[in-house]
Structure 1
Amino acid sequence: MDKNINLLALHRCFIIVIFICVGICQAQQKGQYVPGQFGLNAGVVPAAGLTYANLALNYSASSLNDANGNHRPNVLGTYGFWVDENIFYFVPKKKILGASFAPYISLNGASGSLVADISGTNLGASGGGSGFADLFVQPVNLGWHLKRADIVGGYAFMAPTGRFVAGASDNVGSGYWGNNLNFGATVYVTKNRGTTLNLFSDWETHGQKTGTTLTPGKAFTTEWGVGQVLPLKKDFSRLLQLGLIGYDQWQVTASSGTIGVLPASSVPFYSVHAVGLQSNFILPAKNLNFFFKYLDEYRAISRPEGRTIAFGGSWTLRIPKPVAAPKP
């Protein structure tokens, strides 16, 4: 297999969409990073040029877990959202500190819904909204191409451009600024670079939520994957990449202010863990990559437990255009 084939990673966005707090359930204020963005090729950046990537992500849950990770049978309903991420990279040919400079911006649309019924009471909640969500910008993103690994790291921020009104049931944005430090690595186990180990991590901090006293606590997320590339044609013009992937997310510091009538610091920390599968269909000569991911959450604390589906693709306009290899 040609070791120079670029297996483009295209799942790089951080979105918060609709979150509606039901006080009697002690629902948690989640952070802005939605896991399920990464998996295979977590340390790879696009080749030099302009890249457009689209990622559609759906999260759906029908159970709410307590601080011990147990399903609360008195809380029935569904919680879910769709996010459509439009991601634009520009990667110049010139290197910085030996690394590719790959800044990007993501323009995002979102829609979501919550329907909740608390049995044994006269209380319930419903809501949802759709529209332009928060803007994600990664102005610093450096990727190093090593002999047996690709490594990427950088800084990003989330701007609260999505519609948000404190107490409303149709919010689309988070209502606060966020900052992210992230790191990704892809290790090539075999010389032909077909077998990979992948890891991504994100540390996020948050500002105060508009119209409230709430500042969400810091969160840490890891995403991982083990993948294998299979050539579908002998000339490696069509590749199939399959892998096992997963994510883990934890709240690591207490929130400040209040959630409804509750002191935010009194609400238990949330965490979630998931495992699933990813497939990529890659056309190296055409700079095209299509992917599909499914992840099932097997453990959640103080938050919903559900499943994540993500799919999409990317295309790169190479600048400069690569020179074709001479025919034998």
Structure 2
Amino acid sequence: MAVAFVLLGRDAGAQGQDLGHRLPGGVGLDAGSQNEQGLYAGTRFAWFSSDRVHDRNGDTVPIEQLDIDAYAAIFGITGSLKVDAFYLSAAVAVPAAKRSINSERPDVSVDRLGLGDIYVEPLKLGLRSSRADAVASYSFYAPTSQGASSMIGRPQWSHQVSAGGTVFLDDQRGWRITILASYLHNLQKQGIAITRGDTVQLQGGAGGRFFGLIDLGVVGYALWQVTDDTGADLPAQLRGARERAFGLGPELDVAIRPLRSRLFARFEWDLDGTSRPVGSILVLGLSVIAWE
């Protein structure tokens, strides 16, 4: 099971950062946008909550009094440099995470705390204009030894390629429609003969700016597992089961001009899902311009 973890103009404070978008809800109104040149520091707090798990047919698995909570505090930096007409960007982020699963079945109840997978984006290529942005990137997720031992991080390497864009409906780059498509390829888990299947994901949304400081919109995600989980150690009941998820919710962003920063809040509900917990995710974040 996978448990989840507005473009503001420079005159309105720090722009959005991508500190990892492997899991649904990772990005929203800035999904396919390109930052201006500069160095950005940021933090995220994510909380995923669920009280049910859906099987491969979308039916609820009968587990009494199930309560799943996953928390993550993510710290990262993003840098962007303009070279001729293009923007070259890179990012790194480290999450500290806690996972809690409680039910009447002790065999599925856990409570773990530790470091999650490190997110590294060595290259992002972008184009930026007054009415449209386009981006493409490569990133990877590196497991930590602590994450593997504490059952927080996935004990596997994952590689991700992404591409997307944003269309702005006004010259102030306030009203917009944005989307980011990603393909995630997982390598075999360390210490066990299981390889998670690859996934395709769409994230994005539509929204606008009010009073020059507040961005408000609707965001969503769609995820499909496109290859089966494999490996000699994969339980028989999980063979052929593919993960799928669809979610929707609001996002609110507020610029803090004196601090050259931005606060945002994003809350999304799973509308449907298979072979995974079904619930909701809350993401709170702060981005600051460290250098420009």
Q: Same fold (TM over 0.5)?
A: yes
Root-mean-square deviation (CA), in Å? 2.2
Q: Any conservation in 2 of the 1:9–1:43 contact (CA below 8 Å)?
A: no
Q: Any conservation in 1 of the 2:136–2:164 contact (CA below 8 Å)?
A: yes
Match of 2:219 among 224, 231, 245: 245
Q: Any conservation in 2 of the 1:45–1:102 contact (CA below 8 Å)?
A: no
Q: Tell me what 2:5 maps to.
A: none
Where do 1:259-270 residues align within 5 Å? 261-262=235-236, 266-270=239-243
Q: Any conservation in 2 of the 1:10–1:313 contact (CA below 8 Å)?
A: no
Q: Distance in 2 between matches of 1:52 and 1:164?
A: 24
Where do 1:261-280 residues align within 5 Å? 261-262=235-236, 266-280=239-253
Q: Distance in 1 between matches of 2:163 and 2:258?
A: 28
Q: Report the Cα offset of residue 184 of structure 1.
A: 2.9
Amino acid at match of 2:179: L
Q: 1:46 to 1:190 in 2, by over 3 A?
A: closer
Match of 1:135 among 105, 109, 118: 118
Are 2:68 and 1:95 equivalent residues in the alignment?
Answer: no
Q: Any conservation in 1 of the 2:194–2:234 contact (CA below 8 Å)?
A: no
Q: Distance in 2 between matches of 1:86 and 1:74?
A: 35
The worse-fitting range, judged by mean Cα deviation, of 67-76 and 101-110 is 67-76
Q: Distance in 1 between matches of 2:63 and 2:214?
A: 45
Q: Any conservation in 1 of the 2:19–2:92 contact (CA below 8 Å)?
A: no
The worse-fitting range, judged by mean Cα deviation, of 39-48 and 105-114 is 39-48
Q: Report the Cα offset of residue 87 of structure 1.
A: 1.4
Q: Report the Cα offset of residue 160 of structure 1.
A: 1.0
Q: Report the Cα offset of residue 251 of structure 1.
A: 0.6
Where do 1:49-198 residues align within 5 Å? 49-92=38-81, 94-95=82-83, 98-117=85-104, 124-165=107-148, 170-198=150-178
SS at match of 2:104: strand
Q: Distance in 2 between matches of 1:221 and 1:138?
A: 17
Q: Distance in 2 between matches of 1:4 and 1:10?
A: 13
Q: Distance in 2 between matches of 1:91 and 1:3?
A: 15
Q: Distance in 2 between matches of 1:137 and 1:68?
A: 34
- TM-score normalized with structure 1 length: 0.80
Amino acid at match of 1:77: L
Q: Any conservation in 2 of the 1:134–1:162 contact (CA below 8 Å)?
A: no
Amino acid at match of 2:39: L
Q: Deviations over 1:182-229 (max 9, x none)?
A: 123221022332211011121100111011110110011111211110
Q: Distance in 2 between matches of 1:65 and 1:299?
A: 9
SS at match of 1:117: coil
Q: Tell me what 1:21 maps to.
A: none
Q: Distance in 1 between matches of 2:127 and 2:276?
A: 37
Q: Any conservation in 2 of the 1:11–1:55 contact (CA below 8 Å)?
A: no
Q: Distance in 2 between matches of 1:207 and 1:3?
A: 39
Moved over 3 A (4+): 2-7, 73-76, 258-261, 283-286
Q: Distance in 2 between matches of 1:143 and 1:284?
A: 25
Q: Deviations over 1:49-92 (max 9, x none)?
A: 22101111110110011222122334541222111111111223
SS at match of 1:190: coil
Amino acid at match of 1:115: N
Q: Tell me what 2:205 maps to.
A: 225
Q: 1:61 to 1:51 in 2, by over 3 A?
A: same
The worse-fitting range, judged by mean Cα deviation, of 183-192 and 79-88 is 183-192
**Bigger radius of gyration among the two:** 1
Q: Report the Cα offset of residue 35 of structure 1.
A: 1.1
Q: Report the Cα offset of residue 258 of structure 1.
A: 4.2
Q: Deviations over 1:217-257 (max 9, x none)?
A: 001111121111001xxxx4xx0110011111111101111
Q: Tell me what 2:4 maps to.
A: none
Q: Report the Cα offset of residue 107 of structure 1.
A: 1.4
Q: Distance in 1 between matches of 2:65 and 2:233?
A: 21
SS at match of 1:71: coil
Q: Report the Cα offset of residue 46 of structure 1.
A: 3.1
Structure 1's unaligned 5+ residue stretches are: 15-32, 320-328
Match of 2:189 among 209, 216, 223: 209
Q: Deviations over 1:292-316 (max 9, x none)?
A: 0110111011211000000011111
Q: Distance in 2 between matches of 1:3 and 1:290?
A: 14
